Amino acid sequence: MTRALLIIDVQNDFTEGGALGVDGGAAVAAAITAHARSHAAEYALVVASRDWHDATGDNGGHFATDAPPNFVTTWPVHCVAGSTGAEYHPAIDSSLIDVHVRKGQGVPAYSIFEGTTDEGGTLVALLDEHGIDAVDVVGIATDHCVRASALDALAAGRRVRVLSDLVAGVAPDPSAAALAEIVAAGGEVAPAAS
């Protein structure tokens, strides 16, 4: 097996104090960096995604502009391209990241597979190019973008393991449901090896 680490949306706006901050986000950021350092030999590639929304418009209805957000399909403004909120949380050591993926540029996007690399390529093509057949998924938020990314990785024919102690969710029940859905789809959920 050739494995990649997929770091999902560990950005300032998704951690404590951000526009859509989740509890435990900062701690998960630090733990992901520690894991990436101590397990570097296990990963042929480290890929990180960021929401990178347009500063103008509603990004295909993703931003609530005419009514309060429903937190299902519409959200407060977050992760605007080039803003502090869109940057990686400072506890993420970006020097450990081989490939950066931006998603949601003008449209709603949850999965890392909906984004593009800095060169404009797709994640599936990148994984194919590097012979990656397995991925570990970590990041924020368990019940939204981690869920979507893990399910898309399974749909793309990869073996998927969500590292349960390296994710943070918006709410406990939807997060547990997301992890159960990933297992039902053929993925694995397990804590990171220490």
User: Which is nearest to 112 in space by CA: 172, 156, 161, 168?
Assistant: 156
Q: What are phi and psi of 165, to 5 degrees?
A: -95, 5
Catalytic residues: 9, 103, 145
One-character DSSP codes across 85-151: GGSBPTTS-GGG-SEEEEE-SSS---SGGGSEETTS--HHHHHHHTT--EEEEEEE-IIIIIHHHHH
C-alpha radius of gyration, the chain, whole number: 15
β-strands 3-8, 45-51 pairing: parallel
Q: Locate 20 and state its tokens.
A: 């859509």
Q: Locate 115 and state its tokens.
A: 């984004």
